[in-house]
């Protein structure tokens, strides 16, 4: 038993996959992670039993070098891998999360006091747009590169380097395949934030002598909007397109905004707050036709406006093909598709070639576009997540659609004055609902055992209504009363039922205490009321 655990750790494979019989075996995270835990313990005990396990033992052993290698327990702290991982480090969070004097961590307190769902010891997670759990099969894929196969993928002189490089190239091929790209067109980054910065600033800077105009939308992710604002400060002109009440852009408005000097159009594929899917193919076509025509008028050999899309919420969720859709640059994030955090990619078209100025300079890795040592464990995980997402896209979509519909049916059959935000044909795993006449913060407070995102964004001192919901035309009250339900691959029917029942109960209770709700029940139109003070 020890021998088999040790050998599976040598290869690093098969730890979690043994716990995951198939894609249909949903909710296997717990059993898998306990499999990883027990394997970890086995590893450390096997280390301590092996002749070479102690760094202080004599070196007169005759064991061949290959067998002396200890696996992945740290040479300086052989038991390190057996140490249970704490949820939070009090010193790191001192002043933020720690209670003064008590030395206890606020996060631990909250988690401990949050009511537990009947079948688990954790609150229910319905926040799949923030991040997704790492699929156990992805963990399996990553393990060897965090243990024995730790070479630098840029080391060209030995086998450790070559095997890491192979892992990187395999990962690249899977990511490319997910979006119909050539592997050479994939540049690894730390995530979609970096990819968005790279694409937008990189293209703008490279072509600035010819073109200085960028088009984006008002509902992009902050990292796109802030990159554009930065360029404005440098003298670029940026058009922020409004959206319609359903969150979709108006293609005519986009066409009207195009100029001979438009260098880049950056429009996200799936919105992270409302799940709206923009008409990407139509935008790609418009830029190839009208955009190219206008660019020609600008002269000086200027190319058509390049089309960048932030696909962080789309990749692995809906079918994407960069050639079919006419996309020139695309941002991807691993942790939105059941891969590890800290890794993403930027697709950059090679034919016709898109040029950009790198934002990170150094050793010239990634074709000089993104210097820095690549992270083979993260890339192997990202690649596996992409491979699985492609393989199981239809299954996941059907599972998620069914649960999203069930959630809405449960809620709508028991509550009135619930608004659906966004477009009905959007990505189903992102359900944004407004529970009118209920104060959003109170709603979230009453739902402590469910992890959800609200229609408010926390800035330094206040809860601001979401700029995305405001762009749809929601007033502050409705935006504040909104919740986003993020449903994912591992969400269960039971969880959805529990959450919807809880929402119904809490909304009814809060409305019962609300004078506004009483007025609405009496048929008073609140818009006609003149408030004093
Ligand atoms: C649409 C969108 N773009 C970009 C990002 C940033 O991604 P990352 O966390 O990989 O930097 C997110 C994450 O929330 C997102 O939802």
DSSP characters over 521-532: HTT--GGG----
Atom number in ligand 1 closest to CA 333: 10
Asked whether the predicted pLDDT for residue 106 surpasses 90, the reply is no
Main-chain dihedrals φ then ψ at residue 245, nearest 5 degrees: -55, -20
Q: Note whether 265 and 283 are within 8 A (CB).
A: yes
Among left, alpha and beta (phi > 0; psi -120 to 50; other), residue 101 is left
Between CA 363 and CA 361 the distance in angstroms is 7
* Ligand 1 atom index nearest CA of 271: 1
Nearest alpha carbon, ligand 1 atom 4: 192
Counting atoms of ligand 1 from 1, which one is nearest the CA of 272? 16
Can you tell me the distance from the alpha carbon of 533 to that of 531, in angstroms, rounded to the nearest whole number? Answer: 7
Say which residue the tokens 């955090």 belong to.
Answer: 341
Catalytic entry in 223, 228, 430, 458:
458
Higher pLDDT, 280 or 441: 280
Domain range 394-523, CATH class: alpha beta
CA of 194 to the centre of ligand 1 (A): 9
Pocket test for ligand 1, best of 216, 217, 313, 429 (most atoms within 8 A of CB): 313
The pLDDT of residue 531 is: 62
pLDDT at 458: 56
**Ligand 1 pocket list (CB less than 6 A):** 129, 191-193, 221, 223, 268, 272, 310, 312-313, 333, 344
Query: Measured on CA atoms in the order 396, 402, 403, 405, is the torsion positive or negative?
Result: positive
Nearest CA to ligand 1 atom 16: 272
Shortest-distance Cα residue to atom 11 of ligand 1? 193
- Compute the distance from residue 340 Cα to the ligand 1 centre, in Å: 13
Domain boundary assignment for the chain: 1-82, 159-391, 394-523
**DSSP-based three-state secondary structure for 134:** coil
Q: Mutate which of 191, 197, 199, 334 to test ligand 1's pocket (most atoms within 8 Å of Cβ)?
A: 191
Q: How far is the CA of 313 from the centre of ligand 1 (A)?
A: 7
458 part of the active site: yes
| Atom nearest to 223 CA in ligand 1 | 4
Q: State the DSSP string of 297-326.
A: HH-TT--PPEEEEE-TTTBTTB---HHHHT
Give the pLDDT confidence of 55-101 residue by residue, as tens digits.
333 333 444 444 444 444 434 444 433 333 333 333 333 333 333 34
Q: At CA 212, angle to CA 206 and CA 218, rounded to 5?
A: 110
CATH class of 159-391: alpha beta
Nearest to 383 by CA among 374, 395, 371: 374
Burial class of residue 351 (count of CB atoms within 10 Å of its CB; 0-12, 13-18, 19+): exposed
* Distance (Å) from CA 202 to ligand 1 centroid: 18
Average pLDDT, the chain: 82
How far apart are alpha carbons 533 and 116 in whole angstroms? 43
Residue 223 CA to residue 400 CA, distance in Å, equals 27
Confidence band (pLDDT; 50, 70, 90) for 298? confident
470-489 pLDDT tens trace: 999 999 999 999 999 999 99
Contacts of 457 (CB under 8 A, 6+ apart): 463, 464, 465, 466, 467
């Amino acid at each position: 038993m020890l021998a088999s655990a040790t050998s599976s750790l040598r290869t690093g494979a098969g730890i979690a996959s043994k716990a995951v019989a198939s894609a249909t075996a949903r909710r296997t995270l717990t059993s898998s992670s306990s499999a990883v835990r027990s394997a970890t313990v086995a590893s450390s005990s096997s280390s301590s039993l092996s002749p070479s396990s102690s760094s202080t033992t004599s070196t007169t052993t005759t064991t061949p070098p290959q067998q002396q290698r200890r696996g992945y327990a740290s040479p300086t702290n052989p038991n390190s891998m057996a140490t249970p991982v704490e949820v939070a480090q009090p010193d790191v969070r001192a002043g933020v999360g720690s209670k003064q004097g008590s030395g206890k961590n606020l996060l631990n307190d909250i988690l401990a006091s949050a009511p537990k769902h009947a079948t688990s010891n954790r609150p229910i997670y319905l926040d799949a747009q923030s991040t997704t759990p790492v699929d156990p099969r992805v963990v399996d894929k990553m393990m060897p590169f965090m243990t024995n196969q730790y070479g630098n993928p840029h080391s060209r002189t030995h086998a450790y380097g070559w095997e890491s490089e192979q892992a990187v190239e395999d990962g690249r091929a899977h990511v490319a395949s997910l979006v119909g790209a050539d592997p050479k067109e994939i540049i690894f980054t730390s995530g979609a934030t970096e990819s968005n910065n790279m694409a937008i600033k990189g293209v703008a800077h490279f072509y600035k002598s010819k073109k200085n105009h960028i088009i984006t939308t008002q509902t992009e992710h902050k990292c796109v909007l802030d990159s554009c604002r930065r360029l404005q400060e440098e003298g670029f002109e940026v058009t922020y397109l409004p959206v319609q009440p359903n969150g979709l852009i108006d293609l005519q408005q986009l066409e009207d905004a195009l100029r001979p000097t438009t260098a880049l159009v950056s429009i996200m594929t799936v919105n992270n707050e409302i799940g709206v899917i923009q008409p990407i193919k139509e935008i790609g076509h418009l830029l190839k036709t009208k955009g190219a025509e206008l660019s020609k008028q600008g002269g000086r050999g200027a190319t058509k406006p390049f089309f960048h899309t932030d696909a962080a919420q789309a990749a692995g969720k809906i079918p994407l093909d960069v050639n079919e859709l006419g996309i020139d640059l695309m941002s991807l994030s691993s942790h939105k598709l059941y891969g590890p955090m800290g890794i993403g990619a930027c697709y950059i078209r090679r034919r016709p070639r898109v040029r950009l100025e790198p934002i990170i300079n150094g050793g010239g890795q990634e074709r000089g576009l993104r210097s820095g040592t690549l992270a083979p464990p993260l890339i192997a995980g990202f690649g596996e997540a992409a491979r699985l997402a492609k393989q199981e896209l239809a299954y996941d979509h059907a599972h998620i659609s069914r649960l999203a519909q069930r959630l809405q049916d449960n809620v709508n059959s028991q509550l009135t004055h619930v608004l659906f935000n966004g477009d009905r044909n959007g990505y189903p795993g992102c359900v944004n609902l407004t529970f009118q006449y209920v104060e959003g913060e109170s709603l979230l407070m009453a739902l402590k055992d469910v992890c959800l995102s609200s229609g408010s964004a926390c800035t330094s001192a206040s809860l601001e209504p979401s700029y995305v919901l405001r762009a749809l035309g929601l007033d502050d009250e409705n935006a504040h009363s909104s919740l986003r339900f993020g449903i994912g691959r591992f969400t269960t029917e039971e969880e959805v039922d529990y959450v919807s029942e809880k929402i119904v109960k809490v909304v009814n209770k809060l409305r019962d205490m609300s004078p506004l709700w009483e007025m609405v029940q009496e048929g008073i139109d609140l818009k006609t009321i003149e408030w004093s003070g």
